[in-house]
Amino acid sequence: MNADKPSDLKALGRDSPIPDHPEPKLLERVPNPQSGTNYLVRFTMPEFTSICPVTGQPDFAHLVLDYVPGKWIVESKSLKLYLYGFRNHGAFHEDCTVRIGKDIEKLLSPIWLRIGGYWYPRGGIPIDVFWQTGSAPEDVWVPDQGVPAYRGRG
């Protein structure tokens, strides 16, 4: 569902069940109130979970999503519900991280987007996954994602 105006939103202000799988149709967008101005939006998701497709055990990540909006911004409750859908979804770290970035890129057509997936160790090895759409605009302040190299994240 891609809302063209706030009144078209399906999740915001309504009871919304937790999805059992990641469904891009849950993602909603609204018009960018600062369209024409380059600025950065950051979502930090320190408790992201998915399921290992081989062992069925839970995987945990700290995700950081940065984007420079064009005409649209993502509605945050719909993003939260979409991300909840990964809790019972079996996929590798790389697939989850890149899929989220691509789904949001498809929804918004942002000027720029990047996602960092800082995954907690599986089998003793942390796996960090990074994806972006290109170079950030020169006139936008893009701070470091603030997640240190693995030394026992918290």
What does the alpha-carbon distance between residue 132 and residue 111 come to, in Å, rounded to a whole number? 11
Q: Which residue has the tokens 């960090």?
A: 128
Give, in order, the Cα–Cα distances in Å from 123 to each of 59, 86, 87, 119: 11, 21, 20, 12
Active-site residue (options: 4, 20, 52, 144): 52
Q: What is the largest distance, in Å, between two alpha-carbon atoms of the chain?
A: 47
Find the catalytic residue in 59, 66, 96, 103: 59
Backbone torsion region of residue 88, taken as left when φ is above 0, otherwise alpha when ψ lies between -120 and 50, otherwise beta? alpha
Q: Clarify whether 20 is annotated catalytic.
A: no
52 is catalytic: yes
Residues annotated catalytic, as ranges: 52, 59
